[in-house]
Amino acid sequence: MPVSQDLLDILVCPETKQSVRPAPADLIDRLNAEIRAGRLRTRGGDVVGKEISEGLVREDGRALYVVDDGIPVMLIEESVEITG
């Protein structure tokens, strides 16, 4: 279930206050490959064990917040750092 536009209009990154937008499919695919390989960690250091079906990317493209069952998890330590 995609995040509603009304919610997207008010959500911001809790760390930088930048806006967020839906993650593109190619980024989700790349992160899921890292999850399957056991290499993806949250910014809090926990291994991500469940594939991502939806996420919100911070405006600068450096962090992703997972959307779990239609609910954005907007916690810094639960976000995923996006590299290269």
Regions of the chain with pLDDT less than 50: none
Would you state the pLDDT for residue 26? Answer: 97
Task: Identify which of 21, 9, 2 has the alpha carbon closest to the alpha carbon of residue 69.
Answer: 2
**Contact by Cβ (8 Å): 67, 28:** no
With contact defined as beta carbons under 8 Å apart, do 56 and 11 qualify?
Answer: yes
The pLDDT assigned to 68 comes to: 94
